[in-house]
Structure 1
Amino acid sequence: MRDLKKIKISELKGVGPKMNQLLNRINIFTVYDCLRYYPRAYEDLSTTYKFKDKIAEKGLFYVEILSNPTVRRPRPNLDIMSVLVSDGVDTAELIFFNSSFLKNYFKIGYKKYIYGEIKNNKNGLQIVQGQIIKKADIGVFNPIYNLTAGLTNNFLRKLLKLAIDDYSNYIEDYLSNELLKDLKLVDLKTAIKNIHYPKSYEDLESARKRLSFDEIFVLQASLDRTNYRSAIKRGPNISYTKYKKEINKYISSFPFSLTNAQKKVTEEIFTDLESASMNRLLQGDVGSGKTIVASLAAYLTYLNGYQTALMVPTEILAKQHFKSFYKDLSDFGPKIELLTGSTSESDKKIILDKLKNQEIDILIGTHSLIQEGVEFNNLGLTIIDEQHRFGVDQRKILYLKGNNPHNLSMTATPIPRTLALIIYGDMEISSIDELPPGRQPIDTIVIDDSYLTRLDSFVIKQIQAGRQAFVVCPLIEDSETMNLNSVEKVYNRYVSNDFKKNHIKTVFLHGKMKNSEKDEIMNDFAKGKIDIIISTTVIEVGINVPNANLIIIYDADRFGLSQLHQLRGRVGRGQEKSYCVLVNNNKTELAYRRMKVMKQSTDGFYISEKDLELRGQGELMGTKQHGISDFQFINFSNDLELIEFVKKSYKEIYQKIQNNKNNFSQLDYYITDMVNVRFESKN
């Protein structure tokens, strides 16, 4: 059998040097890449609809021409052709730009198939730039692909048809016929054919189900391959039973009681430490108390004679954790130190010497912890905060600094159960799903630009009362192509007029600045030397300023709900009433529903589920989190049963594949591809 990964795309008919370059631009280098370049959507030409059934949606309509075309030329190089049509019930206006050559296609009484989106506005029903569909094409699903300038859907459709016709017989499956029958799945060749050219919804769904299975199963196999913990029988013996009295004494020193959720996850962690090799993800909302749970795990590790490493993505967050751990734990014996990029060479040498001699029990730091020369004497526990901000290799380096240490990863981004099962498939998951009592509720207010003058007055009043504010924008600088608020634009407004008159100290902050600059600004803000920070989302994680009680987020519809929730979590940390103001000028139904979720709920788990429901499979959590954006076929809202089945049956299915040498080599073929795409390129 020929290896499709070794057949260059230029070998296909019609792919000359220019087209080869364009295809390379969208990562199609081989026939394998071509066959795996799946459609992002389909033009459904299988069913005709009435206009009223597809308002604000695309569909196929069979229409009768009611008027002769009219052509307007409002300016040079632009002509607008319009024609009135009927679906037998309602009338609509077809509008075409720079397409007056089509006017002979439309004569009164003629009937046409038109594919397009029905819009209902003040001028009535309209289809703008619809497609005229030939009768021969009715009944099919036309694939739509992501393109680049110079490539067309028609070219890609023809290319895929050619690749499927000439090379689909070389597609080998890693599932045997017996397994396919047991799993009720179509074979891989059929799935790939039908995902590009389905003849029915049934074809499309059976192909999607098979490719969804592959995404889950092959990812699980990839995790096994890249999981540096997979061969470990158990971690260090860290006993809770032996030190229960000391742990209870530490807990009794807290000026608060642990919540039931904190007690539950602490018990899960202690059980792992005592009886297994812990590899656990602790997820919890902003302010849910993950840090105190982490300190309990670190303290128990210390009592058993082992060291703990706590790695975080930013220096600001490292300093906050150091301050918190030192305040809570230093009286109970552990020696705690901080190691970051700004640690002086002389101090660094002292810290590294102490660490090697086990004169440090808990070392907190940034990426500095994984540098050469950082040697632990007896590392028993690694804790990684905001773990998705670190690559696989970085986490592995920290892990290998010990002898099979336990691992606790933490995230303040609650995610839906389906996503957790996939992304963290090699980890046990603990969730803190309740907030400690007494947390100040945050009022969330949604406004548009017409309220900005009143908002400015409110901001000034809060600053004059001694409070501080965050202001978040989606862009750093103004854009010619996007009508959005930028840090530059909002900063210029805030350092003039009433803000200037009231001597309000305002600074800007964004990701292109040097780390030392950002740290200096945040330290000054924490000390109260700055009143307002205008920033991009770099303040999303790890900023703890209890005196800041106001956050304003411009163009809020541009952010994911979970990201908005994370940003909102920057306030509500002190005793003062806190506010989150979402400035939204998007009047669509989707934007309205998303803003409504933010107003109604402060539950991160609920919000993450709604984010998934409303935004679909795209960029969840506001940014392309590690691995998520690669999934194309898993329906995170509906495939929970399939995901759980694969997780439960994975070892059994894997064993059956392993027993067949040919099938196992094919699985290895796809695992290699998955590892390269999802892991190596992400780090």
Structure 2
Amino acid sequence: MADAQPLTLRELDSIGVDRLRGVGERKLAALEAFGISSVLDLLTFYPRRWVDRTNEARVSDLEPGKEALVLVSVRSVSKRITRNRKTMVTAVVGDGSGRLTVTFFNQPWREKQLHEGLNISLFGKPDVFRGGLQMTNPIVDLIGDRTGRIVPIYPQSEKVALNTWEIAGFVENALERCTARGIADPVPWPVQQRLGLLDRTDALRLIHLPDTMSDQSRARRRLAFDELFRVQTVLVARKRALERDSLGIRHEVDGELVARLREALPYELTGAQTRVIAEIEADLAKPHPMHRLLQGDVGAGKTLVAVSAMLTAVQGGHQAALMAPTEVLAEQHATGIRRLLDGVTVPDPGNLFGDRPLRIELLTNRITGSDRRDVLAGLADGTVDIAIGTHALIQEGVSFHSLGVVVVDEQHRFGVEQRAALRDKAGGAVPDVLVMTATPIPRTAAMTVYGDLDVSVLDELPPGRTPISTHWANGPLDEAAVWADVRAEVGEGRQAYVVCPLIGESEKLELASAEETYERLSAGELHGLRLALLHGRMPSAEKEAIMDRFRAGALDVLVATTIIEVGVDVPNATVMVILDADRLGIAQLHQLRGRVGRGVHASRCWLVTTPDPDAEGANPRIEALVK
């Protein structure tokens, strides 16, 4: 008889967990409560974390105020109702080194979950109460009584009494039953060897039942590879299907309009811009739609590349659209692109004078009444050449006569659905899509996240752009130097931003708020300078008025929330101060830093943090940006 083929994931999905040893009606119901009905569900129900018994704390080692993980057994459990009608469950737990009191508020089900002799893990921050150690509302995991150096901790529920070793036992039984045939692996053995990957069977065993933490890490790496591989396969298949089945526009890329743009530029294109424009034009000349990601640092000249692509559509009799995530950014683009294309006309053989004006329109939710009707009519009849807007471009009632090129700015604010919605309004053939982002994305990550897009990178700044120096101010003495630098720059006629993570004060988070910071700086460190406050809760008209004053130089310092992360272009601003910088992600910090360094003057970014006594001075995100 021929050897049986390895088990496929589809076969594993067809085998019910009720066929496993020890799974009766009660256990089956408990597993199904977790969404586990098949062997595949069970094998892919991964532990949420793993406990290395050699590194766990003992009760006698616990210190007040320091989070710790302990493995203990329950000695006693009691419940009472407090004076304010709250339920309080108290458990006394311990190990060989001592005892600990654990208190749960408003979790009455803990009385039934915990019972004498039960082995559990607790993760929390102990404190001192009536002379003894106590944990309040810690994270609890049911461990069971099985031993092993590495303990897998599975997701658990207050309603399901299924301890971690019971789940591990079912997994072990499932893997034993798979041993004879093995589990099919889509990654060929030579590729596994080249990439240093476990095979799928070993990965599934070691993610649940590792002998060492190194085993667990290797298993996670292989299973993460599988997930990314599946995502990439779907995205590439989608891209190939779009190329195969979608009718695109074969653009004429050597037209007069794009040539006029380049002749009108007061500067030469960088080598990177020339290369990327050539990559885009090669896509535009093909019969199937372009789907390309344009990645470039702030100030690298992405907008000019996008305008070149849009004019390629216009010179062929089509339209172009640029969609931005915020009204501020859309308005900024409209102003900048109109300025860039001022005086550029469209060759028109049917026109008495040989040329016609280039019509650029802005469409956001602030455009209303007759102005909105005029823009919508122009989009529908083709007299609008370039539309710049927000999500308003994909709302009901918006249609294009012949949309040839779509540019989406700041992709991390849009999903595939929004891109598709704009594409669906094209009015015929599928338009070419160019996605722009200033967020630094490693090429391998870009292939994963944007697998349906080809990638172009602008890795060169235009002449005259000065690099931004980044400094870390960690503590009051450093912060004093920050405000001195702001005053010095304003004294030279420059401007500055101060960014705060919150609008108003927070009782839960000790973070600088924009309102409190504005009041403090106005009366203190920056007293006498012209300050203004900007945040997202302000009416749009008020926000725009403040931005207009800042652009015009009527303000020295703009105190704002992260609303200015994108869309603000003031070349005279040379200092960016980011308060509580350690509370923001590295991509957001990079975007904020890019608000300065947009002119010819040297610019600085200050990352201000409060010293953390437990961090020993290290902060990898801040240090990476400073480098």
**What TM-score, normalized to structure 1?**
0.66
Asked if 1:489 corresponds to 2:516, the answer is yes
* Distance across 2 between alignment mates of 1:480 and 1:441: 38
* Distance across 2 between alignment mates of 1:524 and 1:464: 18
Asked if 1:38 corresponds to 2:46, the answer is yes
Deviates more, 1:299-308 or 1:36-45: 36-45
2:293 and 2:456 in contact (8 A); partners too:
yes
Cα displacement (A) at 1:255: 1.0
Q: What's 2:414 paired with?
A: 390
* Greater relative contact order (CA < 8 Å, ≥ 6 in sequence): 1
Q: Deviations over 1:126-163 (max 9, x none)?
A: xxx9xxxx9x9776322346778x699x9652353265
Deviates more, 1:158-167 or 1:269-278: 158-167
Q: What's 2:498 paired with?
A: 471
Among candidates 390, 393, 402, match of residue 378 of structure 1: 402
Go from structure 1 to structure 2 and tell me whether the alpha carbon gap of 1:358 and 1:450 turns closer, same or farther (over 3 Å shift): same
Q: What's 1:236 paired with?
A: 249
Aligned amino acid, residue 487 of structure 1: A
Go from structure 1 to structure 2 and tell me whether the alpha carbon gap of 1:141 and 1:469 turns closer, same or farther (over 3 Å shift): same
Go from structure 1 to structure 2 and tell me whether the alpha carbon gap of 1:475 and 1:103 turns closer, same or farther (over 3 Å shift): farther
* Distance across 2 between alignment mates of 1:453 and 1:203: 49
Aligned amino acid, residue 292 of structure 1: L
Asked if 1:411 corresponds to 2:418, the answer is no
2:257 and 2:311 in contact (8 A); partners too:
no
Go from structure 1 to structure 2 and tell me whether the alpha carbon gap of 1:476 and 1:319 turns closer, same or farther (over 3 Å shift): closer
Q: CA RMSD in A?
A: 4.4
1:549 and 1:577 in contact (8 A); partners too:
yes
Q: Deviations over 1:626-668 (max 9, x none)?
A: xxxxxxxxxxxxxxxxxxxxxxxxxxxxxxxxxxxxxxxxxxx
Go from structure 1 to structure 2 and tell me whether the alpha carbon gap of 1:60 and 1:441 turns closer, same or farther (over 3 Å shift): same
Written as runs of structure 1 = structure 2, the 5 A alignment for 1:667-678 is none
Go from structure 1 to structure 2 and tell me whether the alpha carbon gap of 1:562 and 1:71 turns closer, same or farther (over 3 Å shift): closer
Written as runs of structure 1 = structure 2, the 5 A alignment for 1:599-610 is 599-600=626-627
Q: What's 1:294 paired with?
A: 306
Go from structure 1 to structure 2 and tell me whether the alpha carbon gap of 1:102 and 1:178 turns closer, same or farther (over 3 Å shift): closer
Cα displacement (A) at 1:430: 0.2
The alignment partner of 1:229 has SS state of helix
The alignment partner of 1:591 has SS state of coil
Aligned amino acid, residue 509 of structure 1: H
Go from structure 1 to structure 2 and tell me whether the alpha carbon gap of 1:578 and 1:6 turns closer, same or farther (over 3 Å shift): farther
The alignment partner of 2:220 has SS state of helix
Asked if 1:533 corresponds to 2:542, the answer is no
* Distance across 2 between alignment mates of 1:232 and 1:175: 35
Written as runs of structure 1 = structure 2, the 5 A alignment for 1:518-557 is 518-557=543-582
1:309 and 1:379 in contact (8 A); partners too:
yes
Go from structure 1 to structure 2 and tell me whether the alpha carbon gap of 1:434 and 1:478 turns closer, same or farther (over 3 Å shift): same
**Which runs of 5 or more structure 2 residues have no equivalent in the other structure?**
1-10, 66-90, 100-120, 124-134, 136-142, 347-357
Q: What's 1:327 paired with?
A: 339
1:235 and 1:273 in contact (8 A); partners too:
no
Written as runs of structure 1 = structure 2, the 5 A alignment for 1:347-366 is 347-366=371-390
* Distance across 2 between alignment mates of 1:316 and 1:325: 14
Asked if 1:438 corresponds to 2:464, the answer is yes
1:336 and 1:362 in contact (8 A); partners too:
yes
Go from structure 1 to structure 2 and tell me whether the alpha carbon gap of 1:2 and 1:176 turns closer, same or farther (over 3 Å shift): closer
* Distance across 1 between alignment mates of 2:191 and 2:147: 33
* Distance across 2 between alignment mates of 1:285 and 1:599: 16
Cα displacement (A) at 1:326: 1.7
Q: What's 1:304 paired with?
A: 316
Cα displacement (A) at 1:431: 0.2
Cα displacement (A) at 1:215: 0.9
Aligned amino acid, residue 485 of structure 2: F
Which structure has the bigger radius of gyration? 2
* Distance across 1 between alignment mates of 2:534 and 2:155: 36
Q: What's 2:234 paired with?
A: 222
Q: What's 2:267 paired with?
A: 256
* Distance across 1 between alignment mates of 2:168 and 2:563: 45
Asked if 1:420 corresponds to 2:442, the answer is no
1:186 and 1:206 in contact (8 A); partners too:
yes
Cα displacement (A) at 1:335: 1.8
**What TM-score, normalized to structure 2?**
0.72
Cα displacement (A) at 1:189: 6.4
How many positions carry a matched residue from both structures? 524
Asked if 1:282 corresponds to 2:294, the answer is yes
Asked if 1:271 corresponds to 2:282, the answer is yes
The alignment partner of 2:341 has SS state of helix
Deviates more, 1:247-256 or 1:564-573: 247-256
Aligned amino acid, residue 290 of structure 1: K
Deviates more, 1:403-412 or 1:207-216: 207-216
* Distance across 2 between alignment mates of 1:212 and 1:279: 26
Cα displacement (A) at 1:458: 3.4
**% identical equivalent positions:** 37
2:407 and 2:436 in contact (8 A); partners too:
yes
Cα displacement (A) at 1:231: 4.3
The alignment partner of 2:498 has SS state of strand
Deviates more, 1:371-380 or 1:580-589: 580-589
* Distance across 2 between alignment mates of 1:5 and 1:300: 56
Q: What's 2:71 paired with?
A: none
Cα displacement (A) at 1:208: 2.8
Cα displacement (A) at 1:350: 1.0
Aligned amino acid, residue 598 of structure 1: L
* Distance across 2 between alignment mates of 1:389 and 1:6: 41
Aligned amino acid, residue 266 of structure 1: I
* Distance across 1 between alignment mates of 2:182 and 2:290: 32
* Distance across 1 between alignment mates of 2:589 and 2:175: 45
* Distance across 1 between alignment mates of 2:28 and 2:522: 56
Q: Deviations over 1:226-249 (max 9, x none)?
A: 6683543552010224x2x65344
Cα displacement (A) at 1:359: 0.9
* Distance across 1 between alignment mates of 2:608 and 2:156: 33
Aligned amino acid, residue 538 of structure 1: I
Cα displacement (A) at 1:428: 0.7
